[in-house]
């Protein structure tokens, strides 16, 4: 029998209690957190969809591998396991462990970029952009126009605009563009995948201009599975075969193992260039640690080595993508505006369309995120005017799904809560900032409801 119900491809051996609160408690907690969900104690959250980074559940094989961790400072056996697992999938010659993705980014851009350089990407993630700008280079996003239309359906909305890339490289040349990046999947653009056709085209342009292509590979397994589902000629291939083909068109990658490494911490940097690898390892030793551990414990290296392989298992990916789509499709069917089609790791609600009576300067994304918490103890994150200021093109609320953590009934509950807020959306009011830090204000900002009567009811 071919069942229609997608079940979690695991059973649960160890459970972690979640914490119920009453609505009056949540009102008090939200007031104390100054309407900033980052400021909530995690124990006051029932379903935590703040991020999919480092929040996944490890498997029995990963826990077993952890006991095999070799904590030797140099030449650790656990590093060999990590290197072999990474090479098996990614195929790059040098594997440099780091404590998380942004450490790999910092080292890569420090070694490859100079003041005034340009680094194109489909869409730079915020830490990627920040690390490029920190060395005085310019981060340029070259997403296809379809990727910027929230309600538009397109199978590969993460694709890079190849013509724009060609124009930029012809104008700036390899003197100004030390590398090109492709982020798979495109987190800042709704968790949308990049097609292999696009990878091949981007790679060909880079080769012609003799500029290396690097992947921001955080969600490479989810991207590979979308290719299997959506791209002609790949239905019969395994996710690992597809991942190998993707990376065969590149020269290196950065990776946060907190995503498709199925680990709670860790990352790595890869390159095929011997001279660069040497410089990168020298920098690694300065701030992260010796190249056989890179700021991680041997047991972390083991967990990542196993996690990378598990992330490519087809039953896991089938459940992962189906359960994210389930959430998106159920709320969209009731009229809730979301970024279409559902992404791999998260659903993004279009808060401007959800709350059209709240203008962007009154933070519709924050207002909606607060309301989901008040209604059902769900924590999400605003990606919009609070995060990016007036430059924000959209106000989104991201519901990121931790890997292997929540079950179908948790997701059903999330759907129910969102639909209840949707039903009474006219009642939701905007917010104003009462304190903000000079940079990355969304983490620590304090806000208050705009309308006094609403403030009292909250």
Ligand X SMILES: Cc1ncc(COP(=O)(O)O)c(C=O)c1O
**Residues near ligand X (CB under 6 A):** 53, 100-102, 125, 127-128, 183, 187, 216, 218, 256, 258, 267
Q: Would you give the DSSP letter of residue 426?
A: G
Name the E strands within 298-449: 346-350, 378-379, 381-383, 396-400, 431-435, 446-449
User: Smallest distance from the beta carbon of 210 to ligand X, in angstroms?
Assistant: 26
Owner of token pair 């009453």 = 22
User: Smallest distance from the beta carbon of 265 to ligand X, in angstroms?
Assistant: 8
Closest CB to ligand X among 110 and 127?
127
What is the C-alpha end-to-end distance of the chain, expressed in Å? 51
Give me the sign of the Cα torsion angle 43, 48, 52, 58. Answer: positive
Closest CB to ligand X among 220 and 249?
220
Q: Which helix (H) or strand (E) holds 84?
A: helix 77-90
Residue nearest to ligand X (CB): 101
Q: d(Cα 183, Cα 189) in Å, to the nearest integer?
A: 10
Closest CB to ligand X among 59 and 187?
187
Closest CB to ligand X among 106 and 429?
106
User: Smallest distance from the beta carbon of 215 to ligand X, in angstroms?
Assistant: 10
Closest CB to ligand X among 240 and 258?
258
Closest CB to ligand X among 259 and 330?
259
Closest CB to ligand X among 268 and 363?
268
Nearest to 435 by CA among 449, 452, 448: 448
User: Smallest distance from the beta carbon of 107 to ligand X, in angstroms?
Assistant: 12
For 122-166, the three-class secondary structure string (H helix, E strand, C coil) is CCCCHHHHHHHHHCCCEEEECECHHHHCCCCCCCCCCCECHHHHH
Greatest CA span in the chain, whole angstroms? 64
What CA–CA distances, in Å, run from 114 to 127, 131, 211, 389? 18, 12, 15, 28
Q: d(Cα 379, Cα 399) in Å, to the nearest integer?
A: 8
Nearest to 180 by CA among 162, 197, 156, 155: 162
User: Smallest distance from the beta carbon of 296 to ligand X, in angstroms?
Assistant: 12
Closest CB to ligand X among 222 and 395?
222
Q: d(Cα 305, Cα 96) in Å, to the nearest integer?
A: 13
User: Smallest distance from the beta carbon of 112 to ligand X, in angstroms?
Assistant: 16
User: Smallest distance from the beta carbon of 225 to ligand X, in angstroms?
Assistant: 17
Q: d(Cα 287, Cα 296) in Å, to the nearest integer?
A: 12
User: Smallest distance from the beta carbon of 339 to ligand X, in angstroms?
Assistant: 15
Closest CB to ligand X among 188 and 292?
188
User: Smallest distance from the beta carbon of 94 to ligand X, in angstroms?
Assistant: 19
Closest CB to ligand X among 216 and 382?
216
State how far Cα 147 lies from the chain centre.
16
Nearest to 191 by CA among 390, 87, 345, 300: 345
Contacts of 383 (CB under 8 A, 6+ apart): 188, 348, 365, 394, 395, 396, 397, 398
User: Smallest distance from the beta carbon of 117 to ligand X, in angstroms?
Assistant: 19
């Amino acid at each position: 029998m071919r069942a229609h119900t997608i079940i979690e491809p695991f059973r649960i051996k160890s459970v972690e209690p979640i914490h119920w609160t009453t609505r009056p408690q949540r009102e008090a907690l939200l007031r104390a957190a100054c309407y900033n969900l980052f400021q909530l104690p995690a124990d006051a959250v029932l379903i935590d969809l703040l991020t999919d980074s480092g929040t996944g559940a490890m498997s029995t094989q990963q826990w077993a591998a952890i006991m095999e961790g070799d904590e030797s400072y140099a030449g650790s056996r656990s590093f060999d396991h990590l290197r072999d697992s990474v090479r098996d999938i990614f195929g790059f010659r040098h594997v440099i462990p780091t404590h998380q993705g942004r450490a790999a980014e910092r080292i890569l851009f420090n070694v490859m970029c100079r003041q005034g350089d340009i680094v194109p990407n489909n869409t730079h993630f915020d830490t990627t952009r920040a690390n490029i700008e920190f060395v005085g280079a310019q981060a340029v996003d070259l997403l296809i126009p379809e990727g910027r239309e929230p309600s538009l359906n397109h199978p590969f909305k993460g694709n890079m605009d190849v013509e724009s890339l060609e124009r930029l490289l012809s104008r700036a040349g390899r003197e100004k563009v030390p590398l090109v990046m492709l982020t798979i999947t495109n987190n800042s653009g709704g968790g949308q995948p990049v097609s292999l056709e696009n990878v091949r085209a981007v790679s060909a342009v880079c080769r012609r201009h003799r500029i290396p292509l690097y992947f921001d590979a955080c969600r490479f397994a989810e991207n590979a599975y979308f290719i299997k589902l959506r791209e002609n000629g790949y239905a019969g291939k395994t996710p690992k075969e597809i991942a190998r083909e993707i990376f065969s068109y590149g020269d290196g990658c950065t990776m946060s193992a907190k995503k498709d490494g199925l680990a709670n911490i860790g990352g790595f940097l890869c390159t095929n260039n011997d001279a660069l690898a040497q410089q990168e390892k020298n920098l690694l030793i300065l701030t992260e640690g010796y190249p056989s551990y890179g700021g991680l414990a041997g047991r972390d290296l083991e967990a990542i080595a196993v996690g990378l392989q598990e992330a490519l298992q087809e039953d896991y990916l089938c459940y992962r993508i189906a359960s994210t789509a389930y959430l998106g499709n159920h709320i969209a069917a009731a009229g809730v505006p979301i970024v279409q089609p559902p992404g791999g790791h998260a659903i993004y609600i279009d808060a401007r369309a959800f709350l059209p009576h709240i203008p962007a300067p009154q933070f519709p994304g924050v207002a909606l995120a607060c309301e989901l918490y008040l209604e059902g103890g769900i924590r999400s994150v605003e990606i919009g005017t609070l995060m990016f200021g007036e430059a924000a093109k959209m106000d989104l609320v991201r519901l990121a799904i931790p890997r292997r953590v929540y079950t179908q009934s948790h997701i059903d509950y999330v759907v129910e809560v969102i639909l209840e807020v949707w039903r009474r959306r006219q009642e939701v009011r905007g917010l104003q900032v009462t304190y903000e830090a000079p940079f990355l204000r969304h983490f620590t900002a304090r806000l208050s409801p705009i309308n006094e009567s609403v403030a009292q009811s909250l």
